[in-house]
């Protein structure tokens, strides 16, 4: 097939999704980048993503690209913003619907993707140079994430089904980059009535074991306040 196949009366931009996949590793907020195998920015780091198929919902495209390029599936995914400056891609006009996704720290095993793309985690505050306007996208995702911590139950998306209060507090502290008072944090989160003790505890070292909690409505991200 050697001719340009898809023709329209009016010019059409290309539409892609780009995904900012966050996790918490090594006490840091990290995000996943893939190494570009083709120009432009060949060899550089970029957000995972790709072109939207004609019969494919945009969110499905984001899920598919994420799985194809990183092996990651079943994560919390939310539309972030649509980036469409005319020159953001040097090849042609490309409008990108950006999503952000969160994955619990116990599921970050990257099965190298089917097409053997190189993928790696980077600390959010030590990102390398990124292709296209991907830094802007990553920053906007971080902003949204930090804001949503306050008024939604999004923090649980970073944790396994069962977690300790210290781990939960750590999610808030890491993303907001500030220390919180332990007693006040516990009072606050327990008053929200979102989590309950499982009765189990975790022995983790040479110190007092921690109670394990779980969310009352697992999997849901809800607006609180």
Report in angstroms how near the CB of residue 66 gets to a second copy at its nearest.
Answer: 17
| Cα 81 to Cα 99: distance, rounded to the nearest angstrom | 7
Q: Cβ(180)–Cβ(167) under 8 Å? A: no
What is the Cα–Cα distance from 173 to 147, expressed in whole angstroms? Answer: 13
Pattern 138-177, DNA, x by CB under 7 A? --------------------------xxx-----------
* Catalytic pick among 118, 126, 139, 167: 118
Contact present, 45 and 72 (Cβ < 8 Å): no
Q: Is 184 a residue that touches a second copy (CB under 8 A)?
A: no
The closest of 18, 91, 73 to 50, measured between CA atoms, is: 18
The answer to whether the beta carbons of residues 134 and 56 sit under 8 Å apart is: no
Range 96-135, binding a second copy (CB under 8 A): 97
- Position among 44, 71, 84, 104 found at the interface with a second copy (CB under 8 A): 84
91 binds DNA (CB under 7 A): no
Q: For residues 188-217, which are near DNA according to CB under 7 A? A: 188, 191, 201, 203-211
Cβ distance to DNA smaller for residue 59 or 189: 189
Peptide bond into 198 cis (omega under 30): no
Find which of DNA, a second copy, none residue 186 binds, CB within 5 to 8 Å per kind: DNA
Map the footprint of a second copy across residues 39-68, applying CB under 8 A. Answer: 51-58
Alpha carbons 195 and 213: distance in angstroms, whole number: 6
Cα 127 to Cα 52: distance, rounded to the nearest angstrom: 26
118 is catalytic: yes
| Residue with smaller CB distance to DNA, 12 or 182 | 182
Residue pair 79/126 in contact by the 8 Å Cβ criterion = no
The answer to whether 10 contacts DNA (rule: CB under 7 A) is: no
Least distance (Å) from a second copy to the CB of residue 111? 27
Please say which residue, 95 or 210, places its beta carbon nearer to a second copy. 95
Using DSSP's 3-state secondary structure scheme, residue 65 falls into helix
> Judged by CB under 7 A, how many residues of this single chain contact DNA?
21
Distance (Å, rounded) from C-alpha 17 to C-alpha 52? Answer: 7
Given the rule CB under 7 A, which residues bind DNA? 164-166, 181-184, 186-188, 191, 201, 203-211
Active site residues: 118
């Amino acid at each position: 097939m050697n001719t340009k196949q898809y023709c329209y009366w009016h010019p059409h931009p290309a539409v892609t999704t780009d995904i900012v996949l966050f996790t918490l590793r090594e006490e840091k907020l990290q995000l996943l980048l893939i190494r570009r195998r083709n120009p432009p920015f060949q060899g550089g780091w970029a957000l995972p993503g790709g072109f939207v198929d004609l019969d494919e919902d945009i969110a499905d495209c984001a899920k598919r690209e994420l799985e194809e390029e990183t092996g990651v599936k079943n994560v919390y995914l939310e539309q972030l913003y649509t980036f469409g400056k005319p020159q953001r891609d040097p090849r042609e006009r490309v409008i990108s619907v950006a999503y952000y996704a969160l994955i619990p720290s116990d599921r970050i095993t990257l099965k190298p993707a089917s097409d053997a793309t190189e993928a790696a985690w980077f600390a959010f505050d030590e990102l390398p140079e990124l292709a296209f306007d991907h830094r802007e996208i990553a920053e906007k995702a971080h902003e949204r994430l930090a804001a949503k911590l306050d008024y939604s139950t999004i923090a649980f998306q970073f944790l396994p089904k069962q977690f300790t209060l210290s781990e939960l507090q750590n999610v808030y502290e890491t993303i907001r980059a500030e220390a919180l008072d332990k007693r006040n944090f516990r009072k606050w989160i327990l008053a929200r009535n979102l989590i309950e003790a499982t009765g189990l505890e975790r022995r983790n070292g040479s110190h007092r074991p921690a109670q394990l909690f779980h969310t009352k409505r697992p999997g849901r991200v809800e607006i609180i306040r």
